[in-house]
């Protein structure tokens, strides 16, 4: 299993100058795929928003709890450690 210390170590390695250039190059090379993936997520989110507004979407409490934790713990904490690399 990968403990938190391994994640922090990996982040530390990625923050070094050579890896920053590698990450920037990877983003540049794969920009089309990244933009397409973002577009798919946005399209899906807009579709769900429309269903919620029409009262036709159904989500369990379990899914809502998962999303809340994912946003709070992963996106707002873990992903923010990468923002300097992008």
pLDDT digits (tens, 9 = 90+) for 50-69: 988 899 988 888 888 888 88
CB 4 within 8 A of CB 73: no
Q: Is the pLDDT of residue 11 over 70?
A: no
- The pTM assigned to this predicted structure is 0.44
Q: Is the pLDDT of residue 1 over 50?
A: no
pLDDT of residue 67: 85
Residue of 68 and 19 predicted with greater confidence: 68
What is the rounded CA–CA span in Å between residue 82 and residue 75?
10
Percentage of the chain exceeding pLDDT 70: 71
């Amino acid at each position: 299993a990968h403990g938190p210390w391994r994640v922090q170590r990996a982040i530390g390695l990625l923050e070094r100058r050579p890896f920053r250039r590698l990450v920037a190059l990877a983003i540049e090379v794969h920009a089309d795929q990244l933009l397409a993936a973002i577009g798919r997520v946005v399209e899906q989110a807009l579709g769900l928003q429309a269903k919620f507004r029409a009262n036709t979407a159904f989500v369990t409490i379990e899914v809502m709890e998962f999303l809340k934790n994912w946003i709070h713990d992963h996106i707002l904490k873990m992903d923010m450690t990468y923002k300097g690399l992008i």
